[in-house]
Amino acid sequence: MKHLISTLLLLACSAAALASEPYEPPRTANGKPDFNGVWQVLNTANYNLEPHGAQAAMAFREGPVVPVPAKEVVALGAVGAVPAGLGVVQGGAIPYTRRALAQRDKNRANWLQSDPEIKCYLPGIPRANYMGFGFQIFHNSDALVFSYEYAGAVRDIHLSDPGPAPIDSWMGQSWLRWEGDTMVIETTGFNGQTWLDRAGNYHSDKLKVTERFTLTSTHTMNYEATLEDPTVYTRPWTISMPIYKRVAPDDRLMQFNCVEFVEELMYGHLRKHPLP
């Protein structure tokens, strides 16, 4: 019995020692960590970055006693409900200015009419990384590209600082640097028209996003994004989450080119005989 206990203690100590050792990631030909593959989150950050409880819908109207789901979504029932989430914002709450918080609340109240995701606009950064769709990273010593399933979005990352973006855009202009084994991407040049989630959290065209990708195991990486926007936030703030590598041998990104899916929403009223 004493021998068995000693053996178990030895195994436990060995496991603890292994767990404390830093992960040594696979590397590309230039010695940098290999992030190639298809990745996807397993959280509810796209519903709301902040901690939130489950609720019946994203949009409500006044009911006889309490608010009820808006008529546009009531037929969806549980499919249109919001799952709870622990939140991914470090510190819990986004540090809005007073005026910006009022705008966030207005966005939230008008989600059906205002969320760019509903209209299949490009999602922006960092939202593209946690929408629940897969995204693929391709890279070697000469190139780094992110390809997203949602709306066919693509990011071609500069390998050095290109200076100010020549024009503002939905996905911004990104460039790469390394901090040890952490891939750091800085993005600016946004057009200010994207949201951060379905709860109305937003930014302006002054946003700067600094992303940090760190491999933590064969199939996981830690993702952090620090957002700076002095016109909307009182200070820089950070989100963090694990992202998981998809491992099916035949896995690949599928198409979700949703522009054609929203034609009726966007242009149905222009029919010669609009549908009721």
79-103 pLDDT tens trace: 999 999 999 999 999 999 999 999 9
Question: How far, in Å, are 49, 60, 65, 70, 113 from residue 237 at the CA level?
Answer: 12, 29, 38, 33, 28
Q: Which tokens sit at 119?
A: 């209209």
Q: Would you say residue 57 lies in a domain?
A: no
Tell me if 16 is assigned to some domain.
no
Structure token digits, residue 255: 């198409």
In a domain, 208, yes or no: yes
Tokens of 101: 């918080």
Query: What pLDDT is recorded for position 9?
Result: 62
The pLDDT value recorded for residue 13 is 58
Confidence (pTM): 0.90
The share of the chain scoring above pLDDT 70, in percent, equals: 93
Find the domain containing 114 and state its range: 26-52+70-270
For residues 95 and 203, is the Cβ–Cβ distance under 8 A?
no
Rounded CA-CA distance 160/164 in Å is 12
In what order do the strands lie in the sheet containing 220-228? 154-156, 143-148, 135-140, 37-40, 237-245, 220-228, 208-217, 182-188, 173-179
Q: Tell me if 3 is assigned to some domain.
A: no
Residue 112 maps to a domain:
yes
Residue 142 falls inside a structural domain? yes
- Does residue 167 form part of some domain? yes
Domain count of the fold of the chain: 1
Output the pLDDT for position 276: 83
The whole-number pLDDT of residue 125 equals 98
Q: Is residue 123 part of a domain?
A: yes
pLDDT of residue 10: 61
Give start and end residues of each alpha helix (H) in the chain.
2-20, 98-109, 111-114, 263-267
Considering only CA atoms, which of 171, 204, 199, 195 is closest in space to residue 49? 199
pLDDT, tens digit, 9 for 90 and up, residues 122-164: 999 999 999 999 999 999 999 999 999 999 999 999 999 999 9
